[in-house]
Chain A
Amino acid sequence: MTALPTVSSMSMLLPFTLLAPLAAMLLIVFLPKEETKTIKIVAAMGMLVSLVLSLYAFLNYQWEPGGMQYTLTIPWIPDLGVNLALGVDGLSLPMLLLTNLIGFASIYASWNIDKRVKEFFVLLLILIAGVMGTFIARDLFIFFLFYEIVVIPIYIMVIIWGSTKRVTKEYAAMKLTIYLLIGSAFLLVGMVALYLAAGANGNPTFMFDQLSARQDLYSPAFQKVAFALMIVGFGSLISMFPFHSWSPDGYAGAPTAVSMIHAGVLKKIGGYGLIRLGIYVLPVGASFWAPYIATLAVISVLYAAFIALAQKDLKYVVGYSSVSHMGYVIIAVAALNPTAATGAVGMMFAHGVMAALFFSMIGFIYEKTHTRNIADLGGLAHQMPRLAIGFMIAGMASLGLPGTVNFITEFTIFMGVINVLPVHAILGIAGIIFTAVYILRTIANVLFGPRRAEWDHLTDIRGPELVPLVIFGFVIFFAGIFPNVLLGMIDSGVTSSGLAKVLETVSQAKIGGLF
């Protein structure tokens, strides 16, 4: 461990990306609360800076050497060995970009908020910065710090701006918070155990690469226990069966922007953590638990898809569908091979964009019609054609239509999974059929059918409201048609971070051992 801060080229890029929304947040704190328009514009500007910087980082990232780039390391708590270490590689950069895309769009999805505007945007910007921090941290302690920062703003946002439907918003908020916090208690124990095991010979560290480099200090028994703790922690975050039940209730209670960020990126911290911390640092534990995880994941896929079939509330449909889609990510993680890992990260990106688009469109529908009940809606495409386009794009992406990025990533996942876990792969693919059924039925019942006079007064989305549609629509099709922009990046991350190597050794051990 070097005592001096190591500064590579462009080391300040990530801190600025992280600080832009916080700077906007501080500015908003000092604005008078009547100036709602100014507040919204300042929030949007802050997120625009972040978005542009992370786009620049994405485009300027060198695939060839790969590895962590734009790194910055500052010793932070020397006696614990905590470093404020930032950096991104092919695995985290898509997640960072996704966070900023959704963050930026979520500001516009909340453009019509008129209740306690100032507080809303202050909390929203803290939330976005917190999520962003988890993806750019190279230090486990800092990673965890950022992760926990997001929990409380979400709670406050749900209880104030949420909506009470099947469950009250207070209940939804508390359920969400307690599930995530109990999960994080498991994670904390695993994290401390890992930290102590890695620091057994002195020189304690939290750095991901250091933790991974010291694998010979972790006995197989330790790896199994530690990985089990991680699975509970990250599994509840990514809403893996049986830790999923917070997710639909939480999304249904939350305001649109929170649903977008939660389903879009926050959940992905679970998948990202499983890869970055689980497989990368604890490969033996991962290969021990992989078959069980894969089975739970298949249950997630099918069970959530079945429940989604029966839902009446739009947000519950998308909520259960996101549980189901996250199942694919977990299957891919459990397959333990580079192709599936690439697919897993790609799927997280693709699902994030799709879910955010879906929730923003549902948000607009709810804002205009004051209902999310599928039976009360119908024929909305007559009155709101642009909104219908957005809803359609999200639906088609959700069921993995070729041409959308979701198709590419699902395909990659099953390419990777089919050789290792054939039964799981087939059951997982079967899940797509259910997805198609509930998505198409929802679209048909909400958008199409005879024109209903009661909705004639509705105005279509326009102006700022179009921003989410334009951004996400563009990303879904652009990355669907030129998938290499995304998958090449992720692939370079899987290769250069040493993950591919880890996976190779693990899967070899597996052939002799578990299968």
Chain B
Amino acid sequence: MFNITTVLTPEIALAVLSLSLLAIGLLIPAGARKGMMPLTVFSLMGVLGYTLYDFFYGPEAAFLGGLYMHDQFAVYFKILFLAAALLVVLSSGGYVQKLPKHRGEFYSLLLMATLGMMLMAGAGELITMYVGLELMTISFYILVAYLAEDARSSEAGVKYLILGATSSAILLYGISLIYGLTGSTELLEIASKLSGNLTPASLLATVFILAGLGFKISLVPFHLWSPDIYEGAPTPVTAFLAIASKAAAFAVLIRVYLLTMNSQTFSATGQTLLFVLAAITMIVGNLIAIPQTNIKRLLAFSSIAQAGYLMVGIIAGGISGIKGVIFYAMIYVFANMGAFAVATLVAEKQGSSEIKDLAGFWHRSPLATVVMTASLLSLAGIPPLAGFVGKFYLFSAAMDQGNVAIAYIGFVMSMISVYYYLSVVKVMFLAEGDGLPEVPVHGAMKFTMVFTMLITIAIGLYPTPLAKMAIAAAQSLF
């Protein structure tokens, strides 16, 4: 058998790491905090390595009386969060060095948010899930407002705080309704008690939970916060917010919404609701992305659209749908991370994130241009990049359930998305960047870029290993 510490090792390691980074940040003098980045990187790599081992060979169990799940689904998401955190840290070295103050706490907070996400993925009951979610969100409140002197960053922080708190309240209200209805916060018990009965109260609870989680994944109509906050937040934070927090919310959405709440007779109506939300999300995200002039805003709307694609997998449900969602979530990390690494680089060297400031990037930084192009095209779903296979899994799962219309909207919208992705590519290749500085890429940043691009291409060409992992993770839920 196993004991609880071996199963919880990654979480414990991350908590210890985060707290010790905080302590180290206080102990060493302010000028000498360059070492924090490598320290974080190597510890994260250790935890990631252990988690990978855990995925393939670890035990599978629910423990603490169903409070916390340790199945391949949870571990798969832990791998995802850790990989995202690692890539964000790797690409943010130079950026963090330029922060005016509080450099030491940056990594500590990042790891705290990661820990929250890991709790969300593993949560087997609603309060644990909520604690994880709040841990993540509160860390993000601080991180978003990290550039305290910058008005836009502070504004973004306040906005995120207010809107995030409202959405948490709604989520919590949903949870309390469920507790009132079933007398339990445990997912399995809720599922069995709710099954079959649709009451006005349970309907309200379901919709509230969907709304609360919909905020985190920026599902239309709960998306309005994301462009402003993405634009205002420090670029590495935006990356982490767009990639990992969204994936975490999807992990909860699958476990709590798809597998628990859908046991009600609500599912037929719920299907229609999700259908409409997913369609609107894809359409609005893609169409509003077209006129954007700021790369972070563009990526924000694109990530709204991407959430819509992922919802298609949720609509499909079942093993194939969940497989599609978690497969796509993983490749989304690498594709988006490539794009955000370039955005971070530009923010660091040119202090701007306007698309026009990417002019002539092909001459100034060929590597970054190629990486950006590959990442954006993967997001658009152009083969042979990973995004194509991911979309194929998602949409074919939906079509298999007879949802041809939603798959059709998905395919057409993803082709339309090529328009705005290519507009960025056009500026980089075509425009002359007279007077703009050379932007060389070095060290960890270079590694991040090349690594994400290689993974994006490799998974696109040979998706089988990741697909097998995703299938195993999806099957572990049933």
Contacts and interface: CB of A to CB of B under 8 A. Distances in A.
A145 interface: yes
B407 A192 contact: yes
- Chain A, interface size category, equals 20 to 34
A149 B383 contact: yes
B154 to A, nearest CB: 39
Given A79-B467, A148-B382, A185 B388 contact: no
B388 A145 contact: yes
Nearest to B377: A152
A182 B422 contact: no
A78 B467 CA distance: 9
Contacts of B400: 196
A156 B429 contact: yes
A229 to B, nearest CB: 9
Interface stretch (A170-178, A209-217, A239-247, A337-345): A170-178
A254 interface: no
Q: Is the interface of A mostly helix, strand, loop or mixed?
A: helix
A159 B377 CA distance: 17
Nearest to A116: B362
Contacts of B425: 155-156
Contacts of B416: 178, 182
B396 A195 contact: yes
B422 A177 contact: yes
B419 A178 contact: yes
B464 interface: yes
Nearest to B389: A77
A77 B399 contact: no
Contact of B418 (A79, A145, A159, A177): A177
A152 B415 CA distance: 12
Contacts of A170: 426, 430
B151 interface: no
A34 to B, nearest CB: 15
Nearest to B464: A77
Contacts of B419: 174, 178
Interface in B423-471: 425-426, 429-430, 462-464, 467-468, 471
A170 B407 CA distance: 30
B415 A160 contact: no
A27 interface: no
Contact of B415 (A78, A184, A196): A184
A178 B389 contact: no
Interface string A17-44: 0000000000000000000000000000
Contacts of A189: 399, 404, 407-408, 411
B328 interface: no
Contacts of A181: 415, 418
A76 interface: yes
B412 interface: yes
Interface in B401-415: 404, 407-408, 411-412, 414-415
Given A145-B383, A148-B382, A189-B408, A79 B422 contact: no
B464 A76 contact: yes
Contacts of A195: 396
Contact of A159 (B399, B430, B463): B430
A193 interface: yes
Interface in A61-116: 76-80
Interface residues of B, number: 33
A156 B422 CA distance: 9
B274 to A, nearest CB: 20
Contacts of B407: 189, 192
B411 A185 contact: yes
Q: Is the interface of B mostly helix, strand, loop or mixed?
A: helix
A193 B403 CA distance: 11
Given A160-B429, A188-B411, A178 B467 contact: no
A501 to B, nearest CB: 30
A366 interface: no
Contacts of A174: 419, 422
Interface in A168-225: 170, 174, 177-178, 181-182, 184-186, 188-189, 192-193, 195-196
B395 interface: yes
Contacts of A184: 415
Interface string B126-142: 00000000000000000
A78 B464 contact: yes
Given A144-B383, A151-B382, A193 B399 contact: yes
Contacts of B66: none
**Which of B392, B395, B404: most chain A CB closer than 10 A?**
B392
B396 A192 contact: yes
A185 B412 contact: yes
A196 B396 contact: yes
Given A170-B426, A174-B422, A189-B404, A145 B415 contact: no
A470 B395 CA distance: 48
A77 B463 contact: yes
Interface in A369-415: none
A151 B463 CA distance: 22
Contacts of A188: 395, 411
Nearest to A155: B422
A178 to B, nearest CB: 6
Interface in B97-120: none
A178 B415 contact: yes
A160 B430 contact: yes
Contacts of A151: 382
A217 to B, nearest CB: 14
B384 interface: yes
A195 B320 CA distance: 15
A148 B389 CA distance: 13
Contacts of A144: 383
A159 B415 contact: no
B300 to A, nearest CB: 23
A148 B404 CA distance: 22
B260 to A, nearest CB: 27
Contacts of B383: 144-145, 148-149
A145 B385 CA distance: 9
**Which of A78, A151, A160, A192: most chain B CB closer than 10 A?**
A192
B429 A196 contact: no
Interface string B173-192: 00000000000000000000
A192 B412 CA distance: 14
A152 B400 CA distance: 30
A186 B410 CA distance: 11
A178 B389 CA distance: 20
A160 B431 CA distance: 10
Interface of B: 377, 382-384, 388-389, 392-393, 395-396, 399-400, 404, 407-408, 411-412, 414-416, 418-419, 422, 425-426, 429-430, 462-464, 467-468, 471
10 contacts: A77-B389, A80-B392, A149-B383, A160-B430, A174-B419, A178-B418, A185-B414, A186-B411, A193-B404, A196-B400
Given A192-B396, A195-B396, 4 more contacts: A149-B384, A174-B419, A178-B415, A186-B411
Interface of A: 76-80, 144-145, 148-149, 151-152, 155-156, 159-160, 170, 174, 177-178, 181-182, 184-186, 188-189, 192-193, 195-196
- 10 tightest A-B contacts by CB? A181-B415, A185-B411, A145-B383, A185-B415, A148-B383, A185-B412, A192-B396, A188-B411, A189-B408, A192-B399
